[in-house]
Copies of this chain bind each other. A is one copy, B any other.
Amino acid sequence: MITIAVPCEPSPETRVALVPESVRALTRAGHRVLVERGAGARARYPDAEYAAAGAKVVGGVDLAAVDVLAHVTPLPARVLGALRPGAVTIGLQSPLDDADRLAAANARGVTMLAFERLPRTSRAQAMDALSSQALAAGYRCVLEAAVRLPRFFPLAMTAAGTVPPAKVVVLGIGVAGLQAIATARRLGAKVAANDIRPDSAEEARSVGATFLDTGLDAAEGTGAGGYARALGTSAAERQRAALAPHIADADVLITTAAVPGRPAPRLVTTEMVAAMRPGSVVVDLAAATGGNVEGSRPGEDVRVPSGRGDGAVTVVGLASAPSDLPTDASRLYATNVVNVLGLLVKDGALTVPLDDDIVAGMALTHDGETRAAGAAPAPAAP
């Protein structure tokens, strides 16, 4: 039996690390769960539902009595410093190299498990919070576009004639991009997509998009682990030139491109945005990490005058798209947390099995030391 705690997340975060359904799974397994009062309120999970699931709802969590602290946004150093030695935290940690947090965790011998360091293996998929949150983000960004577009997404057939479907271009075909494509297709739009990883073409087609071939060869775009890598200047210019006419013709542009550990690549210039029709909408999912679109600002709508007549193109910079879908984003996140917890409990006690590649990968700090990314698992016991 271990004690797992869930704090209130700092504003403006709306998600919560465990939902009542996941609490129930933990309490049924015999664990003790403490939930700070109101922790689920912004995700629309009332305290009473946590209590009904067997959690103890508390005014403040006694951090010294907690084995595992589950969180969404990175924990402040003062919280890490108040945990008991050997306690474990599970959550998102960007940036991974925050000196204050690392120092606070190491001073207490706290093990911080960071979802950003989860290995990309099939066994790890059920714990992949980056993917589950990207799914929410990809869905959300299509809604943000559709609600701002002065046009229908679907083909509209009426007795007075037919209105053609909206044209949507998606740049970046990871989990978020694929979900954006699938959602835009559901709503009836015509979707074209591009990613610098040529392997992504087949994935894009599988969810109904046409692939925009920019003529880059495979080696230029694919980096370690199948993620995208940053392009050189000349390749990036060729990519922009190839995409420009498709973007100019689109009603909606959605950008979701990320390169692990680096600022988001700048894919779209203001000039490319201004070539779109008045009323067109651009949604930049990477606005908070540097922006795929020049001039996008997280949490704001920026109006760029269209070069094609009176009116502007709206550039929507999303700050934290999964937080705009907190009920379900939290539900998926909580399942990821519970699955990680499953690796940490042996015979009812808390362990940190560094011979497990998932735990070894996620462990950012352990036993007073910061661990390098990609640190190999400790040899298994014989």
In the complex, the answer to whether A41 meets B311 with C-beta atoms within 8 Å is yes
Query: Residues 123-155 of chain A: 1 if any B CB is under 8 Å from the residue's CB, otherwise 0?
Result: 001111001100110010001101101111010
Residues of B with C-beta under 8 A to A74: none
Copies of this chain held together in the complex: 2
Contact code string A302-328 (vs B, CB < 8 Å = 1, else 0) = 000000111100000000000011111
Interface stretch, picked from A61-69, A156-164, A218-226, A231-239, is A156-164
Chain B residues in 8 Å Cβ range of A188: 186
The verdict on A107 contacting chain B, using a C-beta distance below 8 Å, is: no
Cβ-based interface call for A190 (8 A) = no
| With contact pairs A144-B147, A186-B187, A308-B46 given, residues A328 and B156 touching in the complex (Cβ less than 8 Å) | yes
Query: Within 8 Å of chain B (Cβ to Cβ): is A335?
Result: yes
Q: Roughly how many angstroms separate A301 CA and B121 CA in the complex, as a whole number?
A: 45
A152, B325: Cβ atoms under 8 Å?
A: yes
Q: Determine if A160 and B336 form an interchain contact, defined as CB atoms under 8 angstroms apart.
A: yes
Interface assignment of A273: CB less than 8 Å from any CB of chain B: no
Tell whether A31 is near chain B: CB-to-CB under 8 Å: no
Please tell me if A272 contacts chain B, counting CB pairs below 8 Å: no
- Chain B contacts of A309 at CB under 8 A? 46-49
Contact B38 A326 (CB under 8 A): no
Q: How far is the CB of A326 from chain B (nearest CB, A)?
A: 5
The answer to whether B160 touches A332 (Cβ under 8 A) is: yes
Quick one: which of B47, B160, B327, B339 contacts A339, CB cutoff 8 A?
B160
Contact, CB under 8 Å: A38 / B156: no
Residue of B nearest to A44 (CB): B279
Interface centre among A14, A126, A127, A159 (most CB of B within 10 A): A159
Q: Which of A25-41 contact B (CB under 8 A)?
A: 38, 41
Partner of A328, one of B151, B186, B324, B336: B151
Q: Which of A64-115 contact B (CB under 8 A)?
A: none
How many angstroms between the C-alpha atoms of A65 and B135 in the bound complex? 58
Report yes or no: A44 in contact with B278, Cβ–Cβ below 8 A. Answer: yes
- Name which residue of chain B comes closest to A185, CB basis: B186
Q: A279-B44, A308-B46 are in contact. Are A332 and B146 (CB under 8 A)?
A: no
Rounded to whole angstroms, the CA-CA distance of A38 and B136 in the bound complex is 39
Q: How far is the CB of A366 from chain B (nearest CB, A)?
A: 25
Contact assessment for B43 and A160 in the assembled complex, using a CB-CB cutoff below 8 Å: no
Q: A315: shortest Cβ distance to chain B, in Å?
A: 16
Query: What's the Cα separation between A125 and B136 when bound, in Å?
Result: 41
Q: List 6 A-B contacts (CB under 8 A).
A: A41-B310, A44-B279, A46-B308, A150-B326, A152-B325, A160-B339
The 8 closest A-B pairs by CB, nearest first: A46-B309, A44-B279, A125-B159, A150-B327, A160-B335, A44-B278, A46-B310, A151-B328
